[in-house]
Amino acid sequence: MRDSASNNATERPSLRIVMIGLSIRSDWRNPEAHTHRVVMRALQERGHDVVFLEERRNAAVEGLMRSDGAGAVLSFDEEYPDIRYRSYDPPSSRELGVWLGLEASTADVIILLTGAPQPLNDLFDRLQAPHVVRLMEHRKSDHTVLVDLSSGIEMTAYYPLIESGAAIADAIERSWAAGIRR
């Protein structure tokens, strides 16, 4: 648990939240990027430290660059200066567990999103980090759900694009609160 932060006169812990997905910078064949941006902003407005991890040279960024040029990707930082992201080079399969463990060592919540590299999906399900709430995004036929892997409970349904990230931010905070009581 991190230091407390005040929001609307209610005290809530400030969480470190790591989101891992296809891309936050590019929506090229990645419409979920819009939803993830809304969710990140809603979490940040509540005082949480949120970072999005995306694989370097991912299909969404490369497709956008081929379609609209490098300027389209570079303009993300100007348009969304408040959204933090890190690009990473994919670790080898032998090092993937160590890489994920390092991310988990400083996180309160890790959310594996639709479009994350497949080897991460397999490993994430087996991650042993009792201090971390593990949430996974699953695509259904007409919507997306966020599932708490510890309990197997579907926390919230969303997408197509939501108007407000507040409902998803609430679900993430509820999952974390339930996780510390387990």
Model pLDDT for residues 120-154, shown as the tens digit of each residue:
988 898 888 888 999 999 888 888 889 999 888 88
Note whether 144 and 114 are within 8 A (CB).
yes
Q: Where are the domains of the chain?
A: 4-181
pLDDT (0 to 100) of residue 150: 82
Interval 169-180 mean pLDDT: 89
Residue 4 in this model has a pLDDT that exceeds 50: no
Which sign, positive or negative, has the C-alpha torsion 56, 59, 64, 70? positive
pLDDT (0 to 100) of residue 181: 62
SS3 state of residue 139: strand
Residue 18 in this model has a pLDDT that exceeds 60: yes
Taking each helix axis from N to C end, the angle separating 70-79 and 59-68, rounded to the nearest 10 degrees, works out to 110
Residue 135: how many CA atoms within 13 Å on its side-chain side?
Answer: 30
Residue 7 in this model has a pLDDT that exceeds 80: no
Strand pairing report for 10-13 and 4-7: antiparallel
Model pLDDT for residues 30-81, shown as the tens digit of each residue:
988 999 999 999 999 999 999 999 999 999 999 999 999 999 988 999 999 9
pLDDT (0 to 100) of residue 108: 96
Say which CATH topology domain 4-181 has.
Rossmann fold (3.40.50)
Please, what is the average pLDDT of the chain? Answer: 88
The per-residue b/e assignment along 65-91, b for 16 or more CB within 10 angstroms, e otherwise, is: beeeeeebbeebeeeeeebebeeeeee
Kindly indicate the confidence band of residue 162, based on its pLDDT and cuts at 50, 70 and 90: low
pLDDT (0 to 100) of residue 5: 43
Residue with the larger pLDDT of the pair 147 and 8: 147
